[in-house]
Chains A and B, each alone.
Chain A
Amino acid sequence: MRTGTLLCALLSALGYGAGWPVHKACSGPNLQMLYQSCDPLQDFGFSVDHCSKELPSNLKIRFGLILRQDIKELFLDLALFTKGTSVFNFSYPVCEDDQPKFSFCGRRKGEQIYYAGPISISGFQIPQGDYQVLLQMYNENQAPVACANATVIAT
C-alpha cells in the first residue's frame, strides 16, 4: 500500500487528474516513463523496449490504438517541459501523401492498429531530472488521432 500511496502522491503532484489510467511505458534502473491518454474518447497502449537513460538511435517501441480518423497524413507534435518551463518543441511528419514513412500510413478510420518497430531518433543521453512531455498526433484536417501526457523520470 505504501508504494501505491507514494505513486499516487507522485502522480497527483505531476498533475495527472481524473480520466484514463496512468500507464507505465517502461521502467529501468535509471529511467521511468509514465503516460496517460489525454484523448477524452479513448485510451491507448504504448511501451518502449529499451529503458535506459542512454537512448539508442533505433529505439524500438510498441503501440496499439483504434483510429478515429483516416491517417493518410499524420503529424506528431511534442512539447517537453521541466519544472513547468518549456524546453523543447518539435513537430514531425509521420505520414505524408508524398512520403508515407511507416507501413501503417494510409490506414483508415475505425481500424485497430498495432505497431511494433523502430523509430529513428538520434541517440542521446537523458540528463537527470523529471520531464513532462505532451505528445499530440493529428491528421491533415487537424483532427486528433492520439494525445498523451507523459512523465520521464531519469535518476
Chain B
Amino acid sequence: MPSNVLGFLFAVLLSASYQIISSLDQKCTEKEVNKTYNCENLGLREIPDTLPNTVEFLEFGFNLLPAIQNTTFSRIINLVFLDLTRCQINWIHEDTFQSHLQLDTIVLTGNPLIFMAETSLNGPRSLRHLFLIQTGISNLEFIPIQNLKSLESLYLGSNYISSMKFPPNFPTQNLKVLELQNNAIHYLSREDMGALRQASNLSLDFSGNDITGIEPGAFYSKNFQSLKFGGTLNVSVILNGLLNSTIQSLWLGTFQDLDNQDITPAMLEGLCRMHVHSLNLQNHYFSDVSLTMFQCFTGLQELDLTYTHLSVLPSGIAGMTLLKKLVLNSNHFHQLCQISAASFPFLTDLFIKGNLEKLDLGVGCLEKLEHLEKLDLSHSQVEASECCNLQLKTLPHLQNLNLSYNQPLGLQHQAFKECQHLQNLDLSFTQLRVDSSQSPFQNLQFLQVLNLSHCVLDTSNQNLLAGITNLQYLNLEGNHFSDGNIPKANLFQTLSTLKTLVLSLCELLSIDEQAFQHLEKLSYVDLSHNSLTSSSINALGHLKGLYLNLAANNMDIIPWHVLPILSQQSTINLSLNPLDCTCTNIHFITWYKENLKHVVNLEKTVCANPPALRGMKVSDVELACGMTTVGILFLFVFLLLFIIGLGFLVKFLLRWKYQHI
C-alpha cells in the first residue's frame, strides 16, 4: 500500500512538472495583427523570434528577465506600451530603451529592482507613464530622472518610501497622477510638497500611509484634482494640514479591516478652512450626528457617506445649498423621510443603494428636491403595494430612476405621473404587479430606456407599454409569454421608435410572423437563450441591417426561403444551436460559409447532427450533396447497360416463346 501511495505521489509530481515544461512551448497570443501581443506566463527568458518587429503593445509579464539591457528589446523598436510585470528583473542597465523613441508606458510592477542605470530610461521621446509599484524602492533618488520630462503619471505604491523628498531637478511640470499608497510616509513637510509646485491639477494618492503629521502650510494655496488619504486613522490631522488648499475631490474614507476612531464634529472643523468640491467619508462611524456635524459641509458639491452606519440625518441642516450629489449607500434608514431631504434643496443626484434595512419610501419624502435628476434606490428592499405617485411626489426634473433589485412593487395606471421627464427607468429584478389592461408607463413621453428584465410581467396585457412614445431601448429578458408564443397582437404594437429589443431567456417557442410589424426602426434584437426554431425568423422579414442574436435556441434546419431574411442583416449570432449539417440543410451551410463576415461566435457555431460531425464548426463543414459529374456519368452508363440488357432479354424471351409455339 505505501508503495502505491508513493507511486501515486510520484505520478502527481510528474504530471505537475510536465505541465510546467509544456507551457514553455506555448506561443504569444496575437490580439491585433503585427501590433498587439500577449506573452504572459510563458517562462520566457528573451523576446521570442516569432514576435514581429512591428509590435507596438507588448504584455510580457510573469516571465524571466533577471537583467534587461540595450540588446533585450533592440529588435522591437516600435514599442509604445511595454508591460514587464513580475519578470524578476534585478538590473536595468544603461541605454536599455535607447532606440525606443515611441515608448509611452513602461510597467515594472513587482520586480525586485537592485539598480537602474542613470541612462536606463533614456531614449523614448515622450515617456508618459511609469509603473514602479512594489519594486522595493525606499528612496526616491533611486528613479533615474534624465528622461522624465514628459511624465504624466508615476506609480510608486507598495514600496518602502518613508519620505516624499524628491531629488532636486525632478521634473514635475507635466505630472498629473502620483500614487504613493501603501508606503511608510508618516509626515508631509512644506519642503516635500514644494517639490511638486510646478505640477498643476495633480491627483495624489497617500492611501495606506499612516500620516500622523502635516507641516502647517504644506498645502497652502495649492490646487489638486484629487487627494486620497484612504484608511487614515485621524481625519483631523489631514484636514488641518490641508489648510487653505483647493481640492476637487478629497477621499478620506476608511475600510472594514481597519480600526477607526469615531468622527466628532470637532475633527471636521478643518473643512471650514479649505475648498473641497467632493468629499468621501465612507466606512467611518459618526459619534454624534447632530447639526454641528454638518457645519463645515456647506461648501461641498458632492458628499459620499457610503456605509457610515447612519439611520437618520438631522432635520434643519442649514447652508448646504451647493450640494448637488449625495451618496447614502449601504446605511440603515428605515424610512426615506429620515434623510431629511429638505436640507439639500438643490440636489440633482441622490443615491440610496443597498440600504441595509427594509426601506419604506413613505409619502412625498423627496418632494422638496425639485431639481433632482437622478435617483438610485436599488438593492434597498423597497416594497410598495401602490407605487409610485405618492412616493415620488413632485419630482418634475427626474430623468434617471433606478428601482432595480427590490421587493414586489404594485404599479398603478400612470404610476410615474409625478416624474414625467423620466428618460431612463430601471426596474430589473423587481417583481411588478400591474392590474390587467392598466398602463403604468402612460405619458412618459421622454422615456428612452426601460429595463424590465426579470420583472415577472404579465405579458398578455397589451396595454402594458402603452403611451411611451419615444422608447428606444426595451429589455424584457427573463419574462414569460403565454404558451411561449409572441402573438400578432402584443404589447410591442405601440413602440414604433424602438431600436433595441432584448427578449433573451423568455422561454419562447415561437414568434408570430407579424409580431414585430410595427417595429420598423429596430437595429438590435436579442432573442438568445430561448427555444425558437427557424420559422420565427420570418417575424424579422421587414427589417434590415440588424444585429441579430439567435444564440442558444432550437434552430436545426434553416430552410432556403428564410436565408434572404438573414442576408439582409448586418451581424448574426447563431452559436449554441443544434444545427443540422446533413444535405437537408445544404442551403444554409452554403449560405453560412459565404457570409462568414456577417456571423459572430464562429467557434461555438457547431453541428449537432449527424453524429459524425457533432461539435464540428459549421464553417469547416464540407458536404457533397446532389449529383456530381462522375455520378451522372455512372448513372448514364448504368441506364445504357440496363436498356441494352433489357433489349437482349426481350429478344431472348420472344425467341424462346416462338420456339415453343
Contacts and interface: CB of A to CB of B under 8 A. Distances in A.
B329 interface: yes
Interface in B104-143: 107, 109-110, 131, 133-134
Contacts of B1: 5
Interface residues of A, number: 29
B282 A118 contact: no
A103 B258 contact: yes
Contacts of A99: 282, 306-307, 329-330
Contacts of A40: 19
Contact of B231 (A18, A103, A112, A120): A103
B330 to A, nearest CB: 7
Nearest to B87: A110
Contacts of B110: 66, 110-112
A20 to B, nearest CB: 8
B588 interface: no
B256 A110 contact: no
30 contacts: A5-B2, A5-B5, A8-B9, A12-B8, A18-B15, A19-B16, A66-B110, A68-B62, A98-B304, A98-B327, A99-B330, A100-B282, A101-B256, A103-B207, A103-B208, A103-B231, A103-B255, A105-B255, A106-B181, A108-B109, A108-B131, A108-B157, A109-B109, A110-B134, A111-B110, A111-B157, A111-B158, A117-B257, A118-B257, A120-B256
A98 B230 contact: no
Contact of A103 (B155, B157, B230, B330): B230
A31 to B, nearest CB: 23
B109 A102 contact: no
B393 to A, nearest CB: 28
A110 B133 CA distance: 8
Nearest to A116: B257
A139 B162 CA distance: 31
Interface string A109-131: 11110010110100000000000
Contacts of A98: 304, 306, 327, 329
A23 interface: no
B454 interface: no
Interface of A: 1, 4-5, 8, 12, 18-19, 40-41, 66, 68, 98-103, 105-112, 115, 117-118, 120
Nearest to A1: B2
A19 B5 CA distance: 16
Interface of B: 1-2, 5, 8-9, 11-12, 15-16, 19, 41, 61-62, 85-86, 107, 109-110, 131, 133-134, 155, 157-158, 181-182, 207-208, 230-231, 253, 255-258, 282-283, 304, 306-307, 327, 329-330
Mostly, the B contact residues are loop
B255 A100 contact: yes
Nearest to A68: B62
B86 A101 contact: no
A99 B19 CA distance: 39
B134 A103 contact: no
A112 B134 contact: yes
B192 to A, nearest CB: 23
A107 B257 contact: no
A105 B330 CA distance: 18
Nearest to B18: A18
B62 A107 contact: no
Contacts of A118: 256-257
- In order of increasing CB-CB distance, the 3 nearest A-B pairs are A110-B110, A110-B85, A110-B109
Contact of A18 (B16, B85, B304): B16
Residue among A12, A99, A120 facing the most chain B CB atoms (10 A cut-off): A99
Residue among B16, B41, B110 facing the most chain A CB atoms (10 A cut-off): B110
Contacts of B330: 99
Contact of B86 (A4, A12, A66, A120): A66
B35 to A, nearest CB: 21
A111 B109 contact: yes
A49 to B, nearest CB: 14
Given A110-B110, A111-B133, A111-B158, A103 B257 contact: yes
A4 B61 CA distance: 38
Given A5-B2, A18-B16, A102 B256 contact: yes
Contacts of B255: 100-103, 105
A19 B19 CA distance: 9
